[in-house]
Amino acid sequence: MVEKDLYQKSLNLMKKKIENDGYLLKEDINILLDLIDNNKLKLLTYTLLYSGRRVSECLLLKPKNIYEDINEIEWAILKKKDTKNIVYKKKACYPGLIESLISYIVKNNIHWDDYIFSSPQNIKDKKHYSRQNIWYVIHKAGLKMGKNIHPHTLRHTYGIMLAMDGASFKTIQNQLDHENPSTTQIYLDIGQVHIKEDLKKMERKVLK
């Protein structure tokens, strides 16, 4: 009984964290993107929103990691912020993400082995973006919307958006790399709340 109580307490804490970190609903996404003027940072924000990946993973993205023919991206995932311990994982993509990335790559003539969004941190050039830079840009845009937004907000947004669009439990768990299935269930629960709210707004139909 004690273990069950501790487990439920842990779940409640996770749910509270997601709600405290915040998330955007679909009507907020275009507003956020419109508030970011820089095209590279706009695409980076879009990629965070529609992949659920972390900033560090997006900054390591190269054209060679994009597999258009099978609609997958191979993400370089850092384990515990250790740059020498990288795990590569292929993930299926949300519709439109790969098309948006390839359009930007072609337009800006980015080489297949170059970084799309940034340069390595040991190269001091004006094109480099750190996680702190990106946090500031997204947070500043969020403040203009009257919302406390940061990059992890976008990860939560992706999970809840998947849930609201009817994605399966396994899909959400796989896309966000949840080790604990209970974390995935929280996204489904929050998504279901919003679905119910949307249904309440629809015209009442009664069969007579």
pLDDT at position 30 is 95
Q: Are 156 and 184 in contact (CB under 8 A)?
A: no
Dist CA 41 CA 62 (whole Å): 15
Q: What is the DSSP letter of 124?
A: -
122 has a pLDDT exceeding 60: no
204 has a pLDDT exceeding 80: no
Dist CA 103 CA 121 (whole Å): 25
The domains found in the chain, sorted by start residue, are 2-197 (1.10.443.10)
Q: To 10 degrees, what angle do helices 39-49 and 131-144 make?
A: 90
Q: Are 32 and 142 in contact (CB under 8 A)?
A: yes
16 has a pLDDT exceeding 70: no
Convert the pLDDT of each residue in 32-86 to its tens digit: 999 999 999 999 999 999 999 999 899 999 999 999 999 999 999 876 655 567 8
